Amino acid sequence: MSAPSFFEWLTTSPWANAMNGPEWAFPVVQSLHFIGFAFSIGTIAIVDLRLLGLAMRRQSAAELAADLDPWTRLGLALMLITGPLMFSADAVAYHNNPSFQFKMVVLALALLFHFTIHRKATRSGVLPLAAKFAGGMSLLLWTAVVAGGRMIAFV
Amino acid sequence: MSIPSLLQWVEGTDLSTAIREGALPYPILGGVHLLAIALFGGMVLMTDFRLLGWAMRRTAVPDVVRQFQAWKRAGFVVLVASGLLLAWAEPLKLYRSPSFWVKMALLALVGVHALVFRLRVYGKSARLDVAETVEGKLAAAISLVLWGGLIVSGRLIAYDA
């Protein structure tokens, strides 16, 4: 199956039909997407601010990262379910949208960074400068993901 | 002066026109509004989840509540400021949007929530000690419902027009 026909097929899938059905379906799924990133990006940002030494200084970064991890994962799961649902509803247009393409690239980088360097930086005994780099870089990557997402509707 | 004519005046201001018609201001303000939800929403969630005893249980309640407080306030200021500018750009559209009024009612309830629970729960979090209290759980549950409602009603505004 060639790429365009895959995206065309997606728009005719049952879940795409459900998304394009009742008027409330899309905004409700979008709202769940927002709640998903409040959980995921919101908890990652708490760890980032700790790595930068700006918040939650009475806890160690390792302790915070461990305690928040389940909620980060819950948020990521919610985002990765609601995101593709919205994508399916208008797959051909989205996959040609430059903002969407930008968002997917930075999302891949942000996730890769999160589960590799960011995770290591929360361990005890990491150089302060390395921790700060990881925190700042993570904030920057997730900010780019949100900004790219917002721009999809305007491009 | 009637409200619609006042809003008409707002819509005629240079600032309103600039936000509405410029290519960048509107999406940037929307992005900032969204980013504040992403970056500070986690602190609202984790404060409430700690009060409910669901998250960060190794950390004492007052430790969580107090350390997030300043950041949550900063996030709230960013949300209100970006929201005001977005509203300034299209006041007449919002005036006619039922979802906007639902959102404003929920925002007013967030204010009531703060007045009722600030002193009793968040301000006296030291008294909550490590254990959760019924009052703290009630405050947290109401807060979560209000913030969930704000997100949904806010998103629905775009579909009213």
pLDDT means per 10 residues in chain A (155 residues)? 79 91 92 97 98 94 96 97 95 95 98 96 91 97 96 90
Q: What is chain B's mean pLDDT, rounded? A: 91
pLDDT of residue B131: 62
- Burial profile B64-101: b = 16 or more Cβ within 10 angstroms, e = fewer: bbbbbeebbeebeebbeebbebbbbbbbebbeebebbe
Chain A interface residues (partner B, CB cutoff 8 A): 23-24, 26-28, 30-31, 34-35, 37-39, 41-46, 49, 55-59, 63, 67-68, 71, 139, 142-143, 146-147, 149-151, 153-154
Whether residue B161 has pLDDT greater than 70: no
Q: What is the pLDDT of residues B35-67, one digit of tens each?
A: 999 999 999 999 999 999 999 999 988 899 989
Q: What is the pLDDT of residues B83-120, one digit of tens each?
A: 999 999 999 999 999 999 999 999 999 999 999 988 77
Confidence of residue B132 (pLDDT cuts 50, 70, 90): confident
pLDDT exceeding 70 applies to what percent of chain B? 93
Cβ separation of B43 and A44 shorter than 8 Å? no
Q: Specify whether the CB–CB gap between B26 and B19 falls below 8 A.
A: yes
Angle at B42 between CA B134 and CA A36, to 5 degrees: 105
Q: Which residue do the tokens 């870089």 mark?
A: A137
pLDDT of residue A3: 64
Give the pTM: 0.93
Q: Specify whether the CB–CB gap between A25 and A18 falls below 8 A.
A: yes
Nearest-angstrom CA–CA distance, A56 and B86: 32
Q: What is the pLDDT of residues A8-27, one digit of tens each?
A: 999 999 999 999 888 889 99
Q: Specify whether the CB–CB gap between B93 and B123 falls below 8 A.
A: no
- The predicted model gives B128-148 an average pLDDT of 86
Q: Specify whether the CB–CB gap between A56 and A49 falls below 8 A.
A: yes
Q: Which residues of B touch A34 (CB under 8 A)?
A: 34, 37, 41, 151, 155
Q: Cβ–Cβ contacts within 10 Å for residue B115, how many? A: 10
pLDDT of residue B101: 97
Nearest-angstrom CA–CA distance, A112 and B78: 29
Cβ separation of B45 and A39 shorter than 8 Å? yes
Alpha helices in A52-97 (DSSP H): 61-89, 91-96
Phi and psi of A54, rounded to 5°?
Answer: -105, -20
